[in-house]
Amino acid sequence: MSDTSSTIDLQGASTGDLAFLDAERQWTSGGWPVQGRNHQKIPLDRWLDDRLSAVRRKDDDDSLWDEREEDGTNPTGVCLIMSGRGWGKTKTGAQWVRRQAGMYPGSITHVIAPTYADLRGVVFEGPSGLMATIPAPCVRNLTYSPYPELTLWNGSVIRGFSSETPDRLRGPQATFVWGDEVSSWYKLAECVANIDFSTRIAFRKRDGTLVQPQKLYTTTPKPMQFLNDLIKKGVRLVRGSTYENRANLAEDFFREVTQYEGTQIGRQELHGELLDITESAIIKKSWLRMWPANEPVPWFEYIMVSMDTAFTEKTFDKKTFATDPTACSVWGVFKWEQRWHLMLLECWEDWLGFPQLVARAKREMKAIYGHREEAMFKPMVKDPHQGFLHHQQKKPDLLIIEEKGSGISLRQQLDKEGQSSWPYNPGNADKVARAHAVSHLPHAGRIWVPEGRRKDRTTGKIVGTGNFSEWSDVLVDQVCTYSGPGTTPHDDHVDTTTQAWRVFGDMFVSEGLDKKIPDTSQPQPQGVPPADPTSLVEDQRHDYLYQPEGRGERFELVRNDERLTDMPSTGRGAYDG
């Protein structure tokens, strides 16, 4: 203890108390061997625990803690430290855990590292880790079974977890959580969900007041949705660069990392900058085109349903029987300006068992897409809804399922039940390669997403929102942030999208095909509706009803599932009403 010890009442303090206080004093107010830089002292909650008040300054002033309190409280209970390599993230996390566990006797803290090896080698036993940070007299017990669990002199427990096994986080509860290097976590989405569920004990202090759960994430950022979302939520954000900690870094390490100065990697690795996700994504959001809400929805020549099924060995957790969600997207091919284009018509993600998956796949193939607009001929006397409507009603033509893992069994089962499907074989190409292989399509402006619609309050008319339809967010967010494994919590739609685009590219865009589309601005032979269009097969009906220019005002992309039961495939449908 240094000079301040003379002003401290040592009565009633145990060796653990004293060692803890000394470590806290060194970190917050200076002295050998470490002193946290201002950014490294995390101002979360005030230290007010009664039991330790015995070792507070006699004059009871709080000057030791003033600096931390100035920064205010943290309403979200989450702090994100996003800084360059070697800034001291691990050290800071360990110091924070030491402080929380020391201040709140009997509290539980969970600590998560990317792998088991990191957990032991960096977070618990590393030079910046917990064992190097928590003074020996404060440690009552450290066990490995095989995950590390540290019990402190005051009864607080610090449990270690690896992001590779998120299910271990499911049962035990905690008040404090520290996640180190979150941007390198393996099962990020599951880990974060389990952390959020398990961080649910508010700590009751002696005076009866509660300390709410607090989470600290420390990482050198990678462009990923998770970090973007945290920052958007307004968590307490601490930023810092490698240069700040230069004094404590090895020369070689410093030379190695600073050679990236001035580059994109340098912005991220040295300055802890979160690079624009959409900028680094393989498929950029700005490449997608928005189909205006007040434009007639085009006539779809061909509709594809693309599914990414879960249940592979890799995504199946044998302990919990948990799977990744199955994802599905539906795409319509249409002619526009004498070229083939593709529009997103529907997308969803769902956790489905095999029987439900089979049923869902069959149902998707019976859904009807089209648009609804004003009646072309309004009957003068009868109900106007009985009129002849220019209205496409089309079922999907192709079901694309990846020829891999559960996709194979799904296809076999569907085949037995009379539903054919197209096996998509990606070969050895991984997600990244597949995304690159189709990125020329959005880049060339071939991919469309419908604009969102809302009712204008004053005019009552349907107007566009200026953004992509909300229902498409799940897909657009995934596809347009994906830059490699782990960049989005789920990336199932990257597969449904790239395989649909691939088939679209091969069937409609590859050389030559484009040129076959006739110029619609030239006079066209007019199709005359036959006396009884219902007698025609579905595809011919489309040709009879197709008008290149839309008329009327109300255009709406319509998906109709409900009518399926009473509508056999050769039945009515070309007429509305």
Ligand X SMILES: Nc1ncnc2c1ncn2[C@@H]1O[C@H](COP(=O)(O)OP(=O)(O)OP(=O)(O)O)[C@@H](O)[C@H]1O
- Out of 68, 89, 110, 390, which residue is the one contacting ligand X (CB under 6 A)? 89
How many other C-beta atoms lie within 10 A of the C-beta of residue 239? Answer: 16
220 scored as a contact of Mg ion (CB under 5 A): no
d(CA 49, CA 24): 14
- Out of 23, 28, 36, 371, which residue is the one contacting ligand X (CB under 6 A)? 36
Least distance (Å) from Mg ion to the CB of residue 33? 18
Least distance (Å) from ligand X to the CB of residue 261? 16
Which partner from the list Mg ion, ligand X, none does 305 bind, CB cut-off 5 to 8 Å by kind? none
133 scored as a contact of ligand X (CB under 6 A): no
Q: Which residue is nearest to Mg ion (CB)?
A: 90
Secondary structure letter of residue 424 according to DSSP: E
Nearer to ligand X, 47 or 96 (CB): 96
Strands 214-219 and 78-83: parallel
Q: DSSP string spanning 228-283?
A: HHHHHHT-EEEEE-GGGGGGGS-HHHHHHHHTTTTSHHHHHHTT-----HHHHSSS
Least distance (Å) from Mg ion to the CB of residue 124? 13
Cross-strand partners of 455:
462
127 scored as a contact of ligand X (CB under 6 A): yes
Sole window of 82-90, 184-192, 357-365, 457-465 interacting with ligand X (rule: CB under 6 A): 82-90
Nearer to Mg ion, 42 or 480 (CB): 42
Least distance (Å) from ligand X to the CB of residue 184? 10
90 scored as a contact of Mg ion (CB under 5 A): yes
Q: Which residues contact 390 (CB under 8 A, 6 or more apart)?
A: 373, 374, 375, 376, 545, 547, 550, 551, 552
- Out of 220, 280, 488, 499, which residue is the one contacting ligand X (CB under 6 A)? 220
Total residues contacting ligand X (rule CB under 6 A)? Answer: 18
* 498: three-class secondary structure by DSSP: helix
Helix axes 89-103, 15-29, angle to 10 degrees: 140
Least distance (Å) from Mg ion to the CB of residue 89? 5
Query: Is the CB of residue 215 less than 8 Å from the CB of residue 112?
Result: no
How many other C-beta atoms lie within 10 A of the C-beta of residue 532? Answer: 7
d(CA 194, CA 188): 10
Which partner from the list ligand X, Mg ion, none does 85 bind, CB cut-off 5 to 8 Å by kind? ligand X
Which partner from the list Mg ion, ligand X, none does 392 bind, CB cut-off 5 to 8 Å by kind? none
- For residues 73-92, b (16+ Cβ closer than 10 Å) or e, as one string? ebeebbbbbbbbbbbbbbbb
Lay out the site mask for ligand X across 165-204 (x = CB under 6 A, - = otherwise): ----------------------------------------
Nearer to ligand X, 118 or 495 (CB): 118
Pick the closest to residue 282 from 7, 22, 571, 491 (CA basis). Answer: 491
**Rounded to 5°, angle at Cα 208 from 204 and 213:** 30
306 scored as a contact of ligand X (CB under 6 A): no
End-to-end CA distance of the chain, in Å? 87
Q: Which residue is nearest to ligand X (CB)?
A: 88
Query: Is the CB of residue 105 less than 8 Å from the CB of residue 206?
Result: no
Nearer to ligand X, 272 or 442 (CB): 272
186 CB-side CA count, 13 A:
15
> Please, which of residues 240-279 interact with ligand X by CB under 6 A?
245, 248-249
128 scored as a contact of ligand X (CB under 6 A): yes
Least distance (Å) from ligand X to the CB of residue 22? 16
40 scored as a contact of ligand X (CB under 6 A): yes
Which partner from the list ligand X, Mg ion, none does 86 bind, CB cut-off 5 to 8 Å by kind? ligand X
Which partner from the list ligand X, Mg ion, none does 37 bind, CB cut-off 5 to 8 Å by kind? ligand X
d(CA 195, CA 198): 5
91 scored as a contact of ligand X (CB under 6 A): yes
Least distance (Å) from ligand X to the CB of residue 481? 23
Residues that bind Mg ion (CB under 5 A): 89-90
Residues that bind ligand X (CB under 6 A): 34-37, 40, 85-91, 127-128, 220, 245, 248-249
